[in-house]
Chains A and B, each alone.
Chain A
Amino acid sequence: MTITTAAPAGTPPVPGRGRRGRGIARMCLRRALFAVPLLVVVSLALFALAARSPFDPLAGYLGDRYTTVSTADRQRLADELGTGQSWWRQWASWAGHAMTGDLGYSRAYAQPVTTVMAERGPWTLLLSGVALACAVLAAATLGLWAARRAGGLVDRAVTVSATLVQSVPPFVLSLASVSVLAVGFRLFPVAGLTDPGADPSLRQVSRHLVLPAAVLALSLLPWLVLSLRQSLRAAAESDAVLGARARGIPESVVLRKHILPVALGPFTTVVGLRLPELLVGAAVVEEVFSWPGLAGSLVTAARELDFALLAALTVATTLLVLAGSLLADVAHALIDPRVGRDG
């Protein structure tokens, strides 16, 4: 991102509020239009792939009985459940139903897919939201701390530990934290949304949320810290900041008013781009901690070959990620007045 040399007396001309708002609205519209063909392509690809794979939907439906049900009965079941049709016809029927809000029936959970998503979605949102907020907060704190004295002890410590944590897959982090903190020292509950038998009250859920959210935030942290540090460095070396320092403005003011706003721009873009990683981490964390969320149910749907749920979740995650990156870009546009439209 180039930084125009600014005359000390004022900032370069900025699009006015109205023009900025319209620019953002146009960006949203363009993204929404882009999203529709993407979703169609993704769902078509999924059905086509499933058709060519050795995947047998009956295996998920019958579970252990797969080996005892006779071949003739299996054929009858396949006819009854409609699994023998061509893949594009299955896609067309699925897409048609999806338009009316019927996403099919989840065999793994014995509930309609929409119910599964409605029941489990909020818990994933809670976990991811809390983890993201904590990670951003921690990244901002650490990044600023490290940027104060570039190349100093804190800076190097932060970089080294961030690189270290980045190399550890989230499942290793989860296992380690469970065995040490939950089972070993009994500091936190081991798993689940609440204590068994208890209702999901604020106290219960917040107690059980601590460890999974901490692990998830920790798995996101390295990228955020490193990229914030990078953009802070780049901003600190810019002409505008050198000029401000030369004018004798105190360091803390420079940090707050000149470096941080400029660095926040690319930082929010990185946050938006890292949203897929958030979902990935959430899937693993939900799996290890038995958190009843939607990301973990993707793993279940994959293992049990629950195709209705798998298709719905694939489309939903694509949508969610697009929305997330759009949100990040909108936030970026609002924060940095020089960015008013799609780059």
Chain B
Amino acid sequence: MAESAPGRSRTLRCAIAVLAAVALYALLVPALAGTDPRLTDFAAADLPPSPAHWFGTDFSGRDLFERTAAGLRVSLLIATICAVAATVLGLAVGVTAGALGGRVDGLVMRVVDGVNALPHLLVGIVIVALYPGSVVAVIASIALTHWTQVARIARAEVRTARTAAYVEAARLAGASGPRVTLAHLVPAAAGQALVAVVLLLPHAIWHESTLSFLGLGLPPDRASLGTLLQDARAAVLTGSWWTLAFPALALVVTTLAVAGAGAALRDRITPPLPQRAVR
């Protein structure tokens, strides 16, 4: 189903390289340049890309190279927090369901199905509508709708691990239930959980930028890429294409790199189907 092993590692290396470049850009540029995002400079407003301003300037005279970097940093930060939160929640629920089994498992899976049935962005819209401008609400709206995938995977892993010989041995040796869970079952699911964090990142970025674009996301003080794109919508008509093109490019490149890295990582961690090594 995936490419051959050398192809896979090539994709992974490529994606990681792009991601590293993007992360460097997002973290270093705002720190080094250090311009105050409040301040405007009308004398330099709406300039096209030039050696002085690589990405041009926006209508308030702010350098777009720095603004895109700052926006990317905000987007990545929020997305990472959301992905981690969703994974922790999903891991907790999935491990519990898988370890306890029986009716609890059935009930939890029903809840997971129920939550999964709800459209993510629409639920997110409802949550942020009630808490306008709150960063916590944005994070909650993404985390609370994306944890189900992680829960499902974690539960599957735990159920497989439960039947493994080493877990049986631990139980026979007298280890208590919670100890077995923590020491053996959670690590079994941890590999997939890590992959889940990476795979959730593009979703989180996508979700947050769409919310910001609709005007329902982050407060404008902490501009993310979605906010920058919303500001730049007028660019289609005013001709300042650089205000739209560069943030959009940053968004697409980042999402692609993260998705590619996640997919390659997942293929690496998931052994091919017939053989499942029991360690």
Contacts and interface: CB of A to CB of B under 8 A. Distances in A.
Q: Do chains A and B touch in the complex (CB under 8 A)?
A: yes
Interface residues on B, range: 35 or more
Contacts of B202: 167
A228 interface: no
B118 interface: yes
A137 to B, nearest CB: 23
A299 B119 contact: no
Nearest to B254: A167
A321 B118 CA distance: 7
A198 to B, nearest CB: 24
Given A163-B259, A172-B252, A321-B118, A284 B130 contact: no
B114 A50 contact: no
Contacts of B128: 302
Contacts of B120: 276, 280
A126 to B, nearest CB: 19
Given A169-B251, A172-B251, A303-B216, A280 B121 contact: yes
A55 B213 CA distance: 21
Contact of B214 (A172, A175, A277, A284): A284
Q: Dominant SS at the A interface?
A: helix
B117 A322 contact: yes
A167 B259 contact: yes
Contacts of B252: 167-168, 172
B119 A169 contact: no
Contacts of B180: none
A164 interface: yes
A275 to B, nearest CB: 8
Contacts of A38: 114, 117
A302 B210 contact: no
Which of B114, B117, B210, B237 has the largest number of chain A CB atoms within 10 A?
B117
10 closest A-B pairs by CB:
A276-B119, A302-B129, A53-B130, A167-B255, A280-B121, A179-B236, A167-B256, A55-B130, A279-B119, A302-B125
Interface of B: 1, 110, 114, 116-123, 125-132, 202, 206, 209-210, 213-216, 229, 233, 236-237, 244, 248, 251-252, 255-256, 259-260
